[in-house]
Amino acid sequence: MPKYIAIAAMTLDGKIARHKNHMSNWTSKEDKVFMHALLDKCDAIIVGNNTYKTAIKPLSKRNCIVLTKSIPHNVVSRFIGCYQKSDSLLFCNPNKANIKRLIRTLNYKTIAILGGAQTYSYCLKNNLLDELYLTIEPLVFGQGINLFAENQSLNKKFKLLPVKKLNPQGSLLLHYKKI
């Protein structure tokens, strides 16, 4: 079975960004080092279109599935609801494509989910989130984008695996498994 691993960084008040175009350049360098090392171990990345646009260049080196509702209607693809831009880049409409089947067909074993909020929510609701690496940065934004899109009440339980303090100011890496 493929393993789906969400990777997120948030402030201590639960914000993953100040607004939807806010780059992830506010996180600690230790978190970035951890994230890149983990991505190197993954076969592919699932990412939302807004998040993809903020990181096109670094993501171009990896196998990417970009979730977006704006796939051209006239696209002919070997995957339903998807538009294959290159060998490593697929745009998929999550309302039309069967992401689980797609992942199995592509033979990806470990998949990183990089957000944003709508993508984390979609994956959590559709059993595409087995583990979560959550870095909590010692900051407060007050306003911003929450970890999960707030369009549905959920009741999901996790178990905490080891915790790692990443630096002296206290960026904290939590590892959760969905139960």
Binding site for its own copies (CB under 8 A): 10, 12-15, 18, 121, 124, 132, 134, 136, 138-144, 146-148, 150-161, 163, 165, 169-172, 174, 176
Q: Closer to its own copies at the Cβ: 40 or 150?
A: 150
How far apart are CB 85 and its own copies at their closest, in Å? 32
How far apart are CB 136 and its own copies at their closest, in Å? 7
Collect all residues with Cβ–Cβ distance below 8 Å to 139 and sequence separation of at least 6: 11, 12, 26
How far apart are CB 131 and its own copies at their closest, in Å? 12
**Residue 128 near residue 102, CB atoms below 8 Å:** no
Q: β-strands 131-137, 64-67: how paired? A: unpaired
Q: Closer to its own copies at the Cβ: 12 or 33?
A: 12
How far apart are CB 72 and its own copies at their closest, in Å? 31
φ, ψ (nearest 5 deg) of residue 7 = -125, 125
How far apart are CB 106 and its own copies at their closest, in Å? 28
CA distances from 35 to 70, 97, 137, 138, 166 (A): 28, 27, 14, 18, 12
Q: Closer to its own copies at the Cβ: 15 or 102?
A: 15
169 burial (CB, 10 Å; 0-12 / 13-18 / 19+) is exposed
Q: Closer to its own copies at the Cβ: 18 or 62?
A: 18
Tell me how far apart the 2 most distant CA atoms of the chain are, in Å: 53
Q: Closer to its own copies at the Cβ: 45 or 136?
A: 136
